Structure 1
Amino acid sequence: MEQLLLHLRNLGFTEMESKIMVELATKGQASGYEVAKQLGVSRSNVYAALQRLTQQGYVRCGEGEPARYSVLNPEELATMISGRVQASLAYMESEMPRGGPVSPSFYNVEGDRNVLGALVRQLNLARQEIVVDVWREEASLLRNELEQAEMRGVRLLWAFDGGNAATAPYPAWPPLGGELPRSGGRKFSFVIDRCWCMLGMRYEDGTAQAVVTEHPVLVELLLNHFTQEMVLFELEEDMGTELTKRYGERYSRIYSKYVLHDQNGEESEEPDEQAAGQLRPEDDAD
């Protein structure tokens, strides 16, 4: 019931109107007095809401004394709401002032639902290219949108980070002071059409945080990181035996030259091994 009321409110109905519509749908038809008594609210508020709903066509008022009201069946209601929403969206899109140029800004997005929602909206707007650096768990949540983008002709470039392949780890940069960073999260980044990007972290408890921007500096950084990751992967795939023969165990420690030391003067532990590859969603996004 609460979910239904929430979605009715999302469609533009007030809380009172939503409750009245659900009550009428449950009873089939009822007088204003009966609805007010069932909901435990004043009759004046109920009659005012019923008048609005009747004028808008969502509720019908029958003849008789007292008048009895009924709501449209779900199919009629959905068709009417959909038509009006689409008409309003089309008008807004064509008539909304576009204004002048806006300087790129950085926006914080909090919460798993908000992060995924922002990604879904932007993926659906992609026209040319999507660059994805993500763990398989997060890729699977967006599989439908990514497949739809590919069907539209959008170019997809993938780097999956699953921590389960024998490639050289990236250096760990321990904090210089203060509390240790929150652990248990999975980093991800998306660059869409080389002008919009999101960089964030999703945690095991279902929470998520991300930064969204169209600033060219961060877009360029993420694209460069992706390129370096893919080039390294390709080199290791093509020259793995030669690299091992030439460098031996030292190859796996090359990154350690660039790892900062913690306050005790000790090197941080090496992170989990990383795997990067250019894959299609149907290969590994299950």
Structure 2
Amino acid sequence: MEQLLHHLKNLGFTDLEAKVMVELAQGGAASGYEVSKRTGASRSNVYAALQRLAGQGFLRVGEGEPARYSMLPVEELTRIISGRLQESLETVERKMPRQEHEQAPFHNLEGDRDVMTSLARELGGAKHEIVVDVRREEVALVLDMLEQAEQRGVKVLWACDSGEAALGQWLPRGAFETEPIPGGRKFSFVVDRRWCMLGMRGDSGAAQAVVTEHPVMTELLLNQFAQDIVLYEMENDMGAELSVRYGWRYENIIGKYVSGGPRSI
């Protein structure tokens, strides 16, 4: 009973209105005086509640004196409530003022606990795709979450700097390795092409990250990942033939943009 009253109040009915509705549904049609006796509420308050409910179409009012009130069938009641709620939600979505040029915010996270809490929440709610770029030192922190996502049918694409493939879609990290960032190891995650995290974690274990749903950051991380995949596939397919075919030009192109030159193939 208390749970039912609680949910009726959540739908916008007052405490007395909820009690009156349950009493009429339970005991059948009744006059205001009878409802007052059953609920223990004052007659004036009960009459006011009955009139409000009848005026909103939630009660039927019989002819005669005194008037007798009865509840609608529950299916009809819930259909009316659902329709009105949906209409209100659509109106709010359509009419609520929006800020012009509203942009997704960037949030800074400090420390392993905050970073992992945020990451676990998003990976646990992923529905379609997760793109991951991590170093092998961080693999153990996320492996269980990625495996669970795959078991739910989420496509997981992830890259690591070296080691055995932990998941089916594993790729070596990047087609060309850059110099490590002083003081830490970079990691990034993109979930459902919407939410992304870019951060760094040091040997001490302390992590720092930026989290956002800004489409520019998401696009940058996805483009970087796609570029690495394409370059890796080219090297994997052509092998040493790249250097044979392009000679010094290939090495010069890579050396111009990537510190340390091309990875050995």
TM-score norm. by structure 2 comes to 0.53
Give 1:54-73 correspondences, 5 Å limit. none
Determine if the alignment matches structure 1 residue 184 to structure 2 residue 205. no
Give 1:1-286 correspondences, 5 Å limit. 103-162=103-162, 169=176, 183-248=182-247, 251-258=250-257, 270=260
Check the 8 A contact 1:108/1:210 in 2, yes or no.
Answer: yes
- Could you tell me how far apart the structure 1 residues matched to 2:219 and 2:157 are? 15
Check the 8 A contact 1:131/1:191 in 2, yes or no.
Answer: yes
Q: Which runs of 5+ in 1 are unaligned?
A: 1-96, 173-180, 260-268, 276-286
Deviation at 1:273, TM superposition (A): 5.4
Aligned residue for 2:193, secondary structure, equals coil
Deviation at 1:117, TM superposition (A): 1.6
Deviation at 1:130, TM superposition (A): 0.3
- Could you tell me how far apart the structure 1 residues matched to 2:125 and 2:173 are? 36
- What code does the residue aligned with 1:157 have? L
Larger Rg: 2
Q: What is the RMSD of the two structures over their aligned residues, measured on CA atoms? A: 3.4
Deviations along 1:74-132, whole A, 9 cap, x unmatched? Answer: xxxxxxxxxxxxxxxxxxxxxxx999777411000111221112111111011111001
Q: Which runs of 5+ in 2 are unaligned?
A: 1-88, 164-171
Aligned residue for 1:223, secondary structure, equals helix
Identical pairs, percent: 55
Number of aligned pairs?
A: 162
* Distance change >3 Å, CA 247–CA 274, structure 1 → 2: closer
- Could you tell me how far apart the structure 1 residues matched to 2:105 and 2:152 are? 29
Check the 8 A contact 1:171/1:258 in 2, yes or no.
Answer: no
Which one scores higher on RCO, CA 8 angstroms, separation ≥ 6? 1
Aligned residue for 1:142, secondary structure, equals helix
Check the 8 A contact 2:123/2:191 in 1, yes or no.
Answer: yes
Deviation at 1:220, TM superposition (A): 0.6
- What code does the residue aligned with 2:151 have? M
* Distance change >3 Å, CA 192–CA 236, structure 1 → 2: same
Deviations along 1:166-215, whole A, 9 cap, x unmatched? Answer: 9863566xxxxxxxx97131111100001000000110111111100000
* Distance change >3 Å, CA 224–CA 200, structure 1 → 2: same
- Could you tell me how far apart the structure 1 residues matched to 2:124 and 2:228 are? 26
Aligned residue for 2:198, secondary structure, equals strand
* Distance change >3 Å, CA 168–CA 190, structure 1 → 2: closer
Aligned residue for 2:145, secondary structure, equals helix
Aligned residue for 1:156, secondary structure, equals strand
